Structure 1
Amino acid sequence: MLHQLYSGLGAGLYPLLVLLRPLIEAIGGRFAYGIGQRLGRYPEIASVARPGVRTVWLHASSVGEVQAAIILAHALLDTAIDVSIVVSSTTEQGHRLASSRLPAATCILAPLDLPQAVRRALRAVRPDCYLCLETELWPVMLTEVRQAGIPMLLLNGRISQRSFRRYRRIRGFLAPLLDGFRQVAVISEADRERYAALGVPAARIWVCGNLKNDMEARSPDQVRAANRRRLGVDAERVFLCGSTHEGEEEQLLEVFRALAARGPAVWVIAPRHLERLPAVAALLRRAGMAFDLFSALAAQGRRANVVVVDTMGDLADLYAGGDYVFCGGSLVDRGGHNIVEAARWGRAVYFGPHMKDFQDAADTLVQAGGGFRVADARELTALLLAHVDAPDEYATACARAADMAAGQRGAVARQAALVREVLAAR
């Protein structure tokens, strides 16, 4: 009943959006970007289906999922099976990243989850397989794909503890959608348990690890040097804080001040959500700290000792340029973020007590000696300064972080194998 109501409302909304499309495009903004494709109109691709070539539709919502999709797409394109890859995303940043990193794929904006838009998109793409990354559970899309007889796989599946509590309340609505997946590849044992609790048969769930851990740390020394050149640093110590949330920058400011008191230092802040940039800028101005935007460095060079990352998709490589790396969402209760992205470059990682969304990776990195869990900013300051005073000990921790990250790889091979099995059966 709930699904019928959702689908019916969407069907009624579609003609209104078609009618308003010229106005939306005239107004501009993020809702106007690719509005034609969001309505299921893809005249520029017609159909990507070719005789003897299987078409794989890989859906990744935003930048984070697109990074995982890039890894998987390369693995599928390298296989002996002839495949054509279509990558869809729901945001402008995700679409631009996919287009720049996957020239061999067809990159589109995903259709809005409205029956008419989804059906038009399916007619244009005509996929042999639909791959959904993480928790992109769009009811109309999944229903239409299943009814069309197109096999579906959920890959790199993860459900945070916070999301699981919400999903459990609508288990009756989600269970039929999840039942449409032939295989569900999840990141951790905790994810396996949560998907099983939501109704996925245990026999269909595979713990495969995180695709993002297969991001190759290509030429670490060269990537590190390139990022430090872009940041305009040489001997300065770089305190790089990635994926920060509201309430963390205030605490990290005091950590940076303590580090800067020991010698030349640069603070790089990468807020998790770009809409928070004005708030971060206001905080720095109140603190009397000048800053540069990362996007402006190429044109003007660095003029201040603080750099605010105002771009999407750069953080994963930027970690290589840091000396002391903190992973955000952990001093405040946001569940943390992927610490392996930094560890793969041979960077030890500091994080706060709130890492429940990435608990397995955090515990593994701590046990390996390449990660450091702190209770608060005061403890982070003390530990970071201790590492400044013991460079050999810190270098050992960085090497251990790299070893741990190398041991986490292999998810792409396992998940690509699941896709190949489905394609072979087609």
Structure 2
Amino acid sequence: MTRTLYSLFFTLCMPLILVRLLYRAWRAPAYAKRWSERFALGGDIRSEGIWVHAVSVGESIAAAPMVRELLRRYPQLPITITCMTPTGSEQIRKLFGGQVGHAYLPYDLPWLQRRLLRKLQPRVGIIMETELWPNLVAECERAGVPVVLANARLSERSANGYQRVSWLVRPMFAALDWVAVQSQAEAIRFAALGVDKSAMTVTGSIKFDFRPPSELLAQAANLRAVWGSRPVWIAASTHAGEDEQILRAHQNLLRQLPDALLILVPRHPERFDSVARLVSDAGLGQVRRSQGGTPAATDAVLLGDTMGELVMLYACADVAFVGGSLVPNGGHNYLEPAALGLPVLSGPHRFNFVEISDLLQGAGALQVVADGRALEQAVLQLLNDARLREQAGNAGKAVVEANQGALELLLQGIGQRLQH
């Protein structure tokens, strides 16, 4: 009954959802394409194999090592990856080309999810992190499709949100066949929402198993060589309200280090142009990565306005600030810069990655700054002290290496579901 009410409410909201999609298409034209897939029509669906759902770019990148290993271990099984965003779609094609099928996940209405599952007929469904939809999970259970929640994470804030609608989500959580959860604290939160403890394994985060490709590191080294000995810091995955603080910090930093270069990478592509205007308004010379130019001596900012290059740009820097943390967005993946041996800086808002950021902070690999002024001081200190950078960078790499192994545990669990 509760799911029926949810489906009715979702149906009544469809006009508003479509208006929102039109608005997003106006801001980012890629949203205007492939609408039929959002109604489970079309798409490159490869049936009777493995289905993976990764909502957007970050989840697609996190899923990549798992997908590559599934392709290697089960060459007889086709893989289809669904996502929700054009940027996620672009990332999937960039990572795998034609090796996997791909489509958008339809809206969470029972008849649309049934249509998708009839086309997919998957042996197993693997959902990355916490992208759960009540009708999707219910229709998988009805069709006898085992659902794995991979690299599962659940912040205290998200858990509280789910508790407010527990009447709707408890059956969804209880229907999951296996949850490969990142930490014990998150396992407790999942259990409180209805996941059976026997259906959970604390595997750790597969993001610890990140290994940058050698060709990517070579590309970064070539790019960095062009810049010479300039001190370089990166502000990655930034959100609205952060860029202004970062640019002010960089303006002040330039008084001490006149040749310092900031690599500024907004989280969402629809903000690329507005952030470029902020850089211009700040009176800072800039080069846009999408235009292929190289920063001249008079350019203080490289705007990372391309998709799929964040790790390569991290590898070009001496110090990394991870965005979504000076404003209350909860932070982003701290492990990528740590795995590359960079000292990591974060704002105070880390609620999406508390366990990982605490682990890095405790090892001396991550430093939390309160605001833009503190960010400026921390960047200046690190850029001026090579030994301090090396200590923090080595600590981060050690944490990453010590916590690897989650991917193999996850693959073993998926393999067990494929045998049934």
TM-score by length of 2: 0.89
SS in 2 for 1:42: coil
Question: Does the alignment pair 1:155 with 2:154?
Answer: no
The equivalent residue for 1:21 is: none
The equivalent residue for 1:2 is: 2
Distance 1:316 1:367 in 2: 24
Question: Does the alignment pair 1:338 with 2:333?
Answer: yes
Distance 1:13 1:249 in 2: 34
The equivalent residue for 2:173 is: 178
Stretch deviating more after TM superposition (367-376 or 2-11): 2-11
Aligned AA (2:265): A
Aligned AA (1:417): Q
Residue 419 of structure 1, CA deviation: 0.5
Residue 226 of structure 1, CA deviation: 4.0
The equivalent residue for 1:71 is: 65
Distance 2:183 2:151 in 1: 9
CA deviation string 1:192-217 (max 9, x = no partner): 12111111122222221222222212
Distance 1:419 1:2 in 2: 31
Question: Does the alignment pair 1:188 with 2:183?
Answer: yes
Distance 2:307 2:135 in 1: 29
The equivalent residue for 1:209 is: 204
- For residue 192 of structure 2, the aligned residue among 190, 197, 214 is 197
Distance 1:172 1:372 in 2: 40
Which runs of 5 or more structure 2 residues have no equivalent in the other structure?
Answer: 19-23
Aligned AA (1:189): Q
Residue 97 of structure 1, CA deviation: 1.2
- For residue 295 of structure 2, the aligned residue among 295, 302, 310 is 302
Identity in percent: 32
Question: Does the alignment pair 1:257 with 2:251?
Answer: yes
Query: In structure 2, do the counterparts of structure 1 residues 81 and 422 end up closer, same or farther at CA, with 3 Å as the change threshold?
Result: farther
The equivalent residue for 1:243 is: 237
Distance 1:161 1:13 in 2: 28
Is the 8 Å Cα contact of residues 75 and 412 (structure 1) preserved in structure 2?
no
Report the count of equivalent residues. 411
Residue 115 of structure 1, CA deviation: 2.9
Aligned AA (1:33): K
Residue 417 of structure 1, CA deviation: 1.1
Distance 1:127 1:420 in 2: 14
Matches for 1:259-408 after TM superposition, within 5 Å? 259-261=253-255, 262-296=257-291, 298=292, 300-303=293-296, 304-408=299-403
Residue 8 of structure 1, CA deviation: 4.1
Stretch deviating more after TM superposition (254-263 or 2-11): 2-11
Residue 73 of structure 1, CA deviation: 0.7
CA deviation string 1:233-261 (max 9, x = no partner): 22211110011223222222232223323
The equivalent residue for 1:33 is: 33
The equivalent residue for 2:130 is: 135
The equivalent residue for 1:111 is: 106
SS in 1 for 2:93: helix
Distance 2:112 2:308 in 1: 28
Aligned AA (1:48): S
Distance 1:181 1:240 in 2: 39
TM-score by length of 1: 0.87
Residue 423 of structure 1, CA deviation: 0.5
Question: Does the alignment pair 1:126 with 2:125?
Answer: no
- For residue 422 of structure 1, the aligned residue among 395, 417, 420 is 417
Q: Runs in 1 of length 4+ with deviation above 6 angstroms?
A: 11-15
Aligned AA (2:166): R
SS in 2 for 1:239: strand
Aligned AA (1:147): R
Query: In structure 2, do the counterparts of structure 1 residues 290 and 390 end up closer, same or farther at CA, with 3 Å as the change threshold?
Result: closer
Is the 8 Å Cα contact of residues 31 and 86 (structure 2) preserved in structure 1?
no
Which runs of 5 or more structure 1 residues have no equivalent in the other structure?
Answer: 19-23, 50-54
Residue 36 of structure 1, CA deviation: 2.2
The equivalent residue for 2:21 is: none
Q: Report the RMSD for the aligned CA atoms in angstroms.
A: 2.9
The equivalent residue for 1:222 is: 218
Residue 118 of structure 1, CA deviation: 2.0
The equivalent residue for 2:228 is: 234
Residue 25 of structure 1, CA deviation: 11
